[in-house]
Structure formats: structure tokens, C-alpha cells
Amino acid sequence: MWLGLGIGVVAIPLLAFLATAIGSSLPLDSSLLGMGFLWWGPFFAYLVVAIVLASRPTTTRTGAGLLLAIGAWILIGAGVCVALIAQFSSGGY
């Protein structure tokens, strides 16, 4: 489980960076469907891989760790967001 959690905590921000980098390199007149697929596609692929690994008996713990990493990043992201809001609202930036 710890292996999957470690992989997931590293992979999720890398997927976000990759999706943002690919999406920002496209011309502005690209379709919204294509932009949505480029942004959400890697995350859906991550979720499918995590569910498949969690459902197989030999890789259940790794898949569970990958699924737990999604929740961990929600908590980490919320903490970073609150810290940034508190920093900027106090005038110290």
C-alpha cells in the first residue's frame, strides 16, 4: 500500500503538470472537447489503472495506495490553498 501511495503522490502532480503543459502549447482556437480530454484524460487513465490494480488479488495493496493518493492530494491541495489564502489576506507576500 505504501508503494502505491508513494507512486500516486508523485504521479498526480506530474499528471497535472503534463496536462497543463500540453494544453497550454495548443493554439487558442482548439476545441473545448480536445482541451477537456487533454486535461482530464490522464486523470481518468490514472483512476482506471488504480481500480484495475485494486481489483486484482496480487496488486490489491498497490491499487489501494493509488486510490488513497487521490484523497491525500485533495487534503494536501486544500491545505496549500488555505495557506496561500491566509498568506495573501494578511498582506505578507
User: Average pLDDT for residues 54-83, to the nearest whole number?
Assistant: 93
Amino acid (1-letter code) at residue 74:
I
pTM for the complete prediction?
0.76
Instruction: Retrieve residue 40's grid coordinates.
Output: 482530464
DSSP 3-state assignment of 21?
A: helix
Question: What is the DSSP-derived secondary structure letter of residue 59?
Answer: G
Alpha carbon 21 to its chain's center: 14
Model confidence pLDDT, tens digit, residues 3-55: 888 889 899 888 888 877 776 666 655 555 556 666 777 888 999 999 999 99
At 66 the pLDDT is: 93
Quick check: 62 and 3 in contact, CB under 8 A? yes
**Predicted confidence band at 77 (pLDDT cuts at 50, 70, 90)?**
confident
Q: Where are the domains of the chain?
A: 2-89
Residues 56 and 40: their CA atoms lie apart, in Å, by 25
Alpha-carbon gap, residue 84 to 37, rounded angstroms: 29
Residue 54's alpha-carbon distances to 35, 42, 87, in angstroms, are: 29, 18, 39
pLDDT of residue 31: 59
Q: How confident is the model at residue 90, as a pLDDT? A: 74
Between 32 and 87, name the one with better pLDDT: 87
